[in-house]
Amino acid sequence: MEFEWQPEVETADVVPEKYRALYAKGEGGKFVLDPDIAKRMDTSGLNGALEKERKKAKELAAGQVAWTKLGKTPEEVEKSLADAKAALAKAQEGKEGAANFEKLKADLEAGHTKALGERDILVERMRGSLNKHLVEAEATAAIAELKGSAVLLLPHVQKHVKVIEEGGSFLARVVDAEGDPRGNGKGGFLTIREFVTELKKDTNFARAFDSTSASGSGTQPGPKTGGMPSGSDKLNPTQRISAGLANRK
């Protein structure tokens, strides 16, 4: 039971033992507060101060109960909080590191994809250049050898020939409509010269070749428009190619 300061109490038992010396038994058997002390003390103020102390004591008691439930001292709980904050900061750094890694990975993949795209474009450009020069050189030589017009025949031959890689080398192969290499019926691949020979026998393309018949008594056939000049059969292969290219101009 909480003690309230009173100038007079019925019995000394209600006064805490440490304060009983301040009370004396007076008339009528009641206990009164020492008059000198009562004069110097404001019991209402004293009671207010006691009330504040009681309130603090209750708060401390409630706090003690809370710490007791945690099973740790305040110092231990503070250390746990500090450890938790450090772990959280470390985890945050880990997330930022992971995010930076993912960004770096994405940048590298984008750069790699771009590099592959540029390489493919370069390869296709080189393949196109190789196809043009390899096919054109071999087709022009075959057309010149068979006395055909390179201007008329070369575009058609190029459409039916493509460059393929075989054994580490690039070769010009005559292909069919599906793009597969054609055979020559002898166990090998059809050569460009053999393909040009087929064209020479085809009535649709025969006019693109020089005629082998005489055009008059004792006269040699003159050069056809777009064909090889007369006497080219006496030229070597290199000279025929040069003559065929010159005839295209």
Is the pLDDT at 196 greater than 70? The verdict is yes
Query: What's the CA gap between 144 and 136, in Å, rounded?
Result: 12
Q: What is the pLDDT of residue 157?
A: 92
pTM: 0.38
Q: Residues 230-233: contacts with CB within 8 Å, 24+ apart? A: 232/144, 232/147, 233/147
Residue type, 159: K
Mean pLDDT of 71-84: 75
Return the SS3 of 9.
strand
For the chain, count helices (H), then strands (E).
6, 5
pLDDT (tens digit per residue) in 16-45 = 777 777 777 777 777 777 776 666 565 555
In whole angstroms, give the CA distance from residue 112 to residue 163: 28
Which range (116-125, 134-143, 197-206) has the least confidence?
Answer: 116-125
Q: Could you report the per-residue pLDDT of 91-115, keeping only the tens digit for each?
A: 777 777 777 778 777 887 888 788 8
Q: What is the residue extent of each domain of the chain?
A: 8-70, 128-248
